[in-house]
Amino acid sequence: MTASPLAGTALLCLVVFASTVCVGAFGPLLPEIARAQGLPDWELGVLAGSFGLARMAADLPVGALATRRLAAVLSLSPFTLLAGMLLLATAGPLPLLVLGRLLTGLAHTLVMVGSLTAVLQGPQDRRASLRLNLLEFSGMLGVLGGLLLVGLLPAHWRWNLSLLVAASPVLLALGAALALARRLPSRLPSASAAPVATRPEPRRAAPSGSPPIVRLMFALGVTMALAWSAVSQFVIPLRGTREFGLDRAGISGLLSLAQILDVAVLLPVGWLADRVGRPPVLVAVAAVLGVALFTVGLGSLPLMVLGCALFGLGMAGWMLPLGVIREHTDVARLGWRTGLYRVGVDGAIFLGPLVCGLLGEAHTPIFIVLVGVASLAIAARLARG
């Protein structure tokens, strides 16, 4: 970022926070959407998963655009988000709701790829992981704000009214994004203009030609995304409602528990990764995430509560795989490489609830356990070095 980096970073975090409140608000409302709109599980999976589908489709184009027009990418995000939320608020037929979710997914891609590209321009010093986690911290605070807000709104309000109220911070994101656009360069520097790297010349090969650790980071990112989307967008809302009889406030409480613990340890995890290295910290978070998926998918209500707590701890390492990949990427290709990574992550966010919806309630625990096994296997592979 240009002059006054501190002020620019603060604005960037504000945009991310205000843009993610509505993301957190969607999950607790999912059972009510299913009842009010008469949606079977597979249609509910399509609706929830379309958010990730839009992100997956937009990642590479937005990554390329962020390399050339970073300010424009961040300025477009709140307008796109507002359009998507207004479509959802109509409570219209499924195609209209899916279109609204697609637009919110596109908006989230604009804000996340744009903000990650802006942050990763900075020097890769001993605070690099902390800066990434600070950005994630802002997003998690936004998700937590959406969860808490929906839980506090009157239970008799229709789901679309509650979602629209939860989307109101997008107006704050709009003002912050426009102010931030004036601080950002219209184009990222070329490789020749970039600061001297503090590491050896990065490899320019595609991820398939990169070192094993880089490919493992892509796999871990996909696994974490599958876990997040399946658990928060499908398993906890529907299992909590159908098996344990929880209302909107109860579902919001379970999801908020995970978010609170995620937020509480996010910055310490980034600080620790800068001191002891990212791989050892990733071993711990991947192992905790694997255990969390077993308890959330198979456990009784007390075990699900424990699983939500562990889930929040495990998701605190969400940004660390990207930090490892960054070590092998030059500044001129940050937007593209970030977009490529996000394709895998957002493809998993699309597939998580969709697969759960297609499998149905009876077979979803098998899928969740398999994702948990994958997370534990990656932790074991990282531990071997």
The verdict on residue 326 lying in a domain is yes
In this prediction, residue 131 has a pLDDT band, given cuts at 50, 70 and 90, of low
Q: Where are the alpha helices (DSSP H) in the chain?
A: 5-37, 41-68, 70-89, 94-120, 128-152, 159-166, 170-181, 212-230, 236-242, 248-276, 278-298, 301-314, 320-326, 334-359, 364-384
pLDDT the model gives residue 277:
83
Q: What is the pLDDT of residues 238-280, one digit of tens each?
A: 889 989 998 888 998 999 999 899 888 877 887 888 788 888 9
In this prediction, residue 368 has a pLDDT band, given cuts at 50, 70 and 90, of very high
The verdict on residue 169 lying in a domain is yes
pTM over 0.85, yes/no = no
The verdict on residue 371 lying in a domain is yes
pLDDT the model gives residue 287:
95
The verdict on residue 196 lying in a domain is no
The verdict on residue 191 lying in a domain is no
| Amino acid present at 181 | A
pLDDT the model gives residue 338:
66
Question: Which residues, in sequence order, are CB contacts of 81 under 8 Å at separation 6+?
Answer: 19, 22, 103, 104, 107, 108, 111, 167, 170, 173
pLDDT at 307 over 90: yes
What CATH number corresponds to the domain at position 245? Answer: 1.20.1250.20
Instruction: Decide if 308 contacts 296 (C-beta within 8 A).
Output: yes
Q: Of 199 and 29, which is predicted with more confidence? A: 29
Average pLDDT across the chain, whole number: 82
| Spatial separation of the C-alpha atoms in residues 277 and 174, rounded to whole Å | 36
pLDDT the model gives residue 295:
94
The verdict on residue 192 lying in a domain is no
In this prediction, residue 8 has a pLDDT band, given cuts at 50, 70 and 90, of low
Give the single-character DSSP code of 232.
Answer: I
| Spatial separation of the C-alpha atoms in residues 22 and 163, rounded to whole Å | 7
The verdict on residue 22 lying in a domain is yes
pLDDT at 5 over 80: no
Q: Which two tokens stand for residue 25?
A: 């608000």
pLDDT the model gives residue 193:
39
In this prediction, residue 23 has a pLDDT band, given cuts at 50, 70 and 90, of confident
User: Number of structural domains, the chain?
Assistant: 1
Give the single-character DSSP code of 231.
Answer: I
Q: What is the pLDDT of residues 56-111, one digit of tens each?
A: 888 788 878 887 788 888 889 989 999 999 999 999 899 999 999 999 999 988 98
pLDDT the model gives residue 210:
59
The verdict on residue 33 lying in a domain is yes
| Spatial separation of the C-alpha atoms in residues 146 and 20, rounded to whole Å | 8
pLDDT the model gives residue 151:
85
Q: By residue range, what is the domain housing residue 165?
A: 8-186+208-384
